[in-house]
Chains A and B, each alone.
Chain A
């Protein structure tokens, strides 16, 4: 059996940010996914959700539950990343003071996603958007 769930994330909505990840975590727990894998997906998904709220113009998180793997797709509608290699560098961030005061924007988000996912792919086009696909093997 497989199915999909989609969550919307709005730009700058730090009051709601985190809700999608909590729902994803809860869903996976109900499905009986092991604690270790749930934690990896929850952390990677939450970093992605915060990135949508912090950096994007808004976007979606898609959770696909398959037989042998779970896939999280995080896609936004801009503004796109001009230099992906730079954005992937640990410690590099364009986040402002408001975000840093919340404890984010330290340049660890994308590296944290790579660290937790079994497969990671990122594509981006300036003025179009960014798409991240992460897979987690069951």
Chain B
């Protein structure tokens, strides 16, 4: 699923990394536990979370994920947005809660990371 479609489905505002909007992701991972993201998320996934600190960016970077959606209208600090730009990570924010965000994307065909 293209990230531009995800933006449209979630009516999200893009905060950084607009150049990735035409990139595809193949799964989604919704979580506020960063170690679980590091353990279970696939690198082709988009990360959905309610946390907005630097460690979310570091987590995505280490896991080779290039897109993050902040749910519940969360907006990170300008410093974190700047860091996302430097790391070339697409960051967007949506008004939907985590449950609704994941549900909408799943309903539109995006699968979750399968824990085996």
Q: Given A102-B51, A103-B55, is A42 in contact with B35 using a C-beta cutoff of 8 Å?
A: no
- Interface residues in A3-17 (C-beta closer than 8 Å to B): 14-15, 17
Chain A proximity mask over B30-74: 1 for CB below 8 Å, otherwise 0: 001111111100010000010101111011011110000000000
Q: Are B58 and A39 in contact (CB under 8 A)?
A: no
Chain B proximity mask over A109-133: 1 for CB below 8 Å, otherwise 0: 1011001000000000000000000
Q: Interface of chain B, helix or strand or loop or mixed? A: helix
- Interface residues in A35-86 (C-beta closer than 8 Å to B): 35, 39, 42-43, 45-47, 50
Q: Are A18 and B58 in contact (CB under 8 A)?
A: yes
- Interface residues in A74-112 (C-beta closer than 8 Å to B): 101-104, 106-109, 111-112
Q: Are B54 and A18 in contact (CB under 8 A)?
A: yes
CB-contact partner of A39 in B53, B56, B59, B62, under 8 A: B62
Chain A residues at the B interface, C-beta cutoff of 8 Å: 14-15, 17-18, 21-22, 25, 35, 39, 42-43, 45-47, 50, 101-104, 106-109, 111-112, 115
Closest A residue, CB atoms, query B57 = A18
Q: In the complex, what residues of A have CB within 8 A of residue B58's CB?
A: 17-18, 21-22, 46
Q: Given A14-B55, A17-B55, A46-B58, is A103 in contact with B63 using a C-beta cutoff of 8 Å?
A: no
Distance in Å: Cβ of A75 to nearest Cβ of chain B: 20
Q: In the complex, what residues of A have CB within 8 A of residue B35's CB?
A: 47, 103-104, 106-109, 112
